[in-house]
Structure 1
Amino acid sequence: MNWLWAIIVGLVLGLIAKAIIPGKQEIPLWLTVVFGILGSVLGNWAATGLGVNDTRGIDWIRHLLQLIGAVIIVGVGDKLWTSIRGNRHAT
């Protein structure tokens, strides 16, 4: 069941990251989910390094770090995706 939560969290974080990043991102939904999952992993890694990965109640700092990780990875991943695939939507 952990893989299902990873996909759900990846989808949510990826979509929020796409909404935060200015402009239109060209990555497909499946890649948004993958980047969201990677952002979650990056945020968990940072939270562990900072010692805030397991606190009482809701881990707001960990969740914020996961979102920051997703924004970074979606932003960089979109640039890579566009450069590899070419910007087909540009006029």
Structure 2
Amino acid sequence: MEISGILSAIVIGIVIGVLGRLVVPGRQRIGVLWTIAVGIVAALLGSAIAAGFGVADTDGPDWVEWFIQIALAALGVVALDRGLARR
């Protein structure tokens, strides 16, 4: 992976993390860095899942891939928030 691919994964991960956090109702007690980390992981996993289903490369916008990524980010935000709340 080239440096441009890594930088774009980070930027897309930030956006996916923020969107995933916005989808979750209520207040989350996780910080910005955790949101970014969850977004990056969700973006990478979502891309892999979309590629596995064969919906990663389409002629137009990759709506299914984005939906998978945002759903994974929302699940990650909820899991991390609940995990930190138990401490």
Report the TM-score range of the alignment, normalised by the length of the smaller protein.
0.7 to 0.9
TM-score, L = length of structure 2: 0.84
Runs of at least 5 residues in structure 2 that lack an aligned partner in the other structure: none
Secondary structure of the structure 2 residue equivalent to 1:34: helix
Cα separation, 2, equivalents of 1:63 and 1:18: 14
Q: How many residues align?
A: 84
4+ residue segments displaced more than 6 Å: none
CA contact (8 A) 1:39 1:72 kept: no
For the aligned residue pairs, the C-alpha RMSD in angstroms reads: 1.4
2:44 corresponds to 1:20: no
Q: Counterparts of 1:7-86 in structure 2 under 5 Å?
A: 7-83=10-86, 86=87
Runs of at least 5 residues in structure 1 that lack an aligned partner in the other structure: 87-91
TM-score, L = length of structure 1: 0.81
Amino acid at match of 1:15: V
Larger Rg: 1
